Chains A and B, each alone.
Chain A
Amino acid sequence: GDSVTQMEGPVTLSEEAFLTINCTYTATGYPSLFWYVQYPGEGLQLLLKATKADDKGSNKGFEATYRKETTSFHLEKGSVQVSDSAVYFCALRSDNAGNMLTFGGGTRLMVKP
């Protein structure tokens, strides 16, 4: 079945450091890929998405590129801020799964001033 694996946290960085959170997936067909973010005490928010190979999703300085050859969708940001501290979830939707999302385990990011 479909699955998503992302690096375990917590990831602790200083402000303005470069961020990478790895995400790899297993799925049949051609899934759509997503990154969601959960700030403390809030629900999950869609951060960015990519629907086909080589697409790059971007939002709020975050980027991720859909790499079909490596089945990866790593999240990157060039310069993190304290306000980026949150839990980040990688997710996929298979093209034969209706609206169901399959999530990774989440990665907690802590950014220190």
Chain B
Amino acid sequence: NAGVMQNPRHLVRRRGQEARLRCSPMKGHSHVYWYRQLPEEGLKFMVYLQKENIIDESGMPKERFSAEFPKEGPSILRIQQVVRGDSAAYFCASSPQQGGPDTQYFGPGTRLTVL
């Protein structure tokens, strides 16, 4: 059973470009969480999604950031018009439908560098 997959593992963008980060949850998991780790800081919650629904986006910046988890395909975290401050590691986690926090399974992360 494959774990949580994230791609790309490393992404380089210039200021003003768009970044699209993908997360494929574990098979059978319908809940996805995105966390961001800025340099020298801990992971910060961004958004919690179920299939076709955003459940909690209290950690998402108000502008330029969006997330989706369509019925088919991976969850996408989209950052428009990236700035240098968006450089960070972005981690995705998934859990089964009845999961609690201890059943969040994490992916290896995508490291975004904005030049």
Contact = CB atoms under 8 A, between A and B. Distances in A.
Contacts, number: 65
A113 interface: no
Contacts of A101: 33, 35, 43, 45, 101, 104
Given A98-B56, A101-B101, A4 B108 contact: no
Contact of A43 (B42, B58, B95, B107): B107
Given A43-B91, A44-B91, A98 B48 contact: yes
B41 A99 contact: no
24 contacts: A34-B101, A34-B102, A43-B107, A43-B108, A43-B109, A44-B43, A44-B106, A45-B106, A93-B101, A98-B56, A99-B31, A99-B48, A99-B95, A99-B99, A100-B33, A100-B45, A100-B48, A100-B58, A101-B43, A101-B104, A102-B45, A103-B35, A105-B41, A105-B42
